[in-house]
Amino acid sequence: MNASLVRIDYQGMPVNFNEDGWFNATVAAAHYGKEVYEWLRLPETRRYLDALSRRHGINR
């Protein structure tokens, strides 16, 4: 579903979350002049995503 159920203001930027809690990371990164791949390559991000995947039984 594309409808935004929750809209918050994060450092002056509106962030829309869908009913599953997802938001558009590409739009958020662009607001700060960044690309999502920059965040995804960070060791901290990789550890976080690995832990999240294990917790929810998602094979990456």
Query: For residue 5, what pLDDT is reported?
Result: 85
For residue 60, the model assigns a pLDDT of 74
Q: For residue 20, what pLDDT is reported?
A: 80
Encoded amino acid at 60, one letter = R
Q: Can you give the pLDDT at residue 9?
A: 92
pLDDT band at 48 (very low <50, low <70, confident <90, very high): very high
Task: Please give the angle made by the CA atoms of 7, 51 and 28, to the nearest 5 degrees.
Answer: 30
For the chain, domain boundaries? 6-56
Residue 48 structure tokens: 């976080």
Q: How far is residue 28's CA from residue 20's CA, in Å, rounded to a whole number? A: 17
pTM of the model: 0.60
| pLDDT digit string, tens, across residues 2-32 | 566 899 998 888 999 988 888 999 998 998 8
CB 29 within 8 A of CB 15: no
Q: Give start and end residues of each alpha helix (H) in 1-60.
A: 25-31, 36-40, 43-56
Residue 22: what pLDDT?
86
